[in-house]
Amino acid sequence: MAGPKLIVVQGSWIASSKWLNFPATVKAPSPFSRGELCEFRIGREDAVKQARAHRRQPVLDLWSCILGEPPPVPNVMRYIERPYDGLTSFSMAHACFRGIRRPCGEDADGENILAYVLKPTSSYEYVPNLVCVVAKSAVAADLVFVAYVKLDHPCVPEGHLVKGVLTHWQFVEADEGAAFSLPIDYESRYRERLW
């Protein structure tokens, strides 16, 4: 009688995970004209690196605060009541700043970085249980969500498409003086407000 046979499956759970298969680009208001939309590439490498290190929240924030969708994990649409309520998408940004007053990657002074501000009321977080691995939770009123884009070409000529890559994103404490709609100390945090 033969015993159980071990089968080794080649591949990575990271590469096959649906929640890491987000789109290559995302639509956002143009930094130069809020009424026009442009597309930015999504920096996938850092998000996958975070997931490999078991830091799932950045990917869940990408789905719920930038893409405006529940993360594609099993049972999210069945288990969570009104899964889309309170989520934001990048196109709903209400403020845009240029220059982050600190180095960022190859940008020594952060001059070519855009900061888009959103105000989600709900987001998803990793809360594993027997039914679903995520739960929808309310975002505190004293937080805003900031998404950072590195411009490919700092000076965009008139009529050309704005190009850049969405590099990172995070929740930031909100400024009470700005009715909790802008990041705290936004006057000194960024070089200029575009809109």
Q: Which DSSP string do the residues of 103-116 spell out, in sequence order?
A: -BTTBSSSTTEEEE
Q: How confident is the model at residue 15 (pLDDT cuts 50, 70, 90)?
A: very low
User: What's the predicted TM-score (pTM) here?
Assistant: 0.84
Q: Residue 120's closest CA among 94, 99, 101? A: 94
33 vs 103: CA distance, rounded Å: 26
Whether the CB-CB separation of 121 and 86 falls below 8 Å is answered with yes
Question: What tens digit of pLDDT does each residue of 130-179 get?
Answer: 888 899 999 999 999 999 999 886 665 555 566 899 999 999 999 999 99
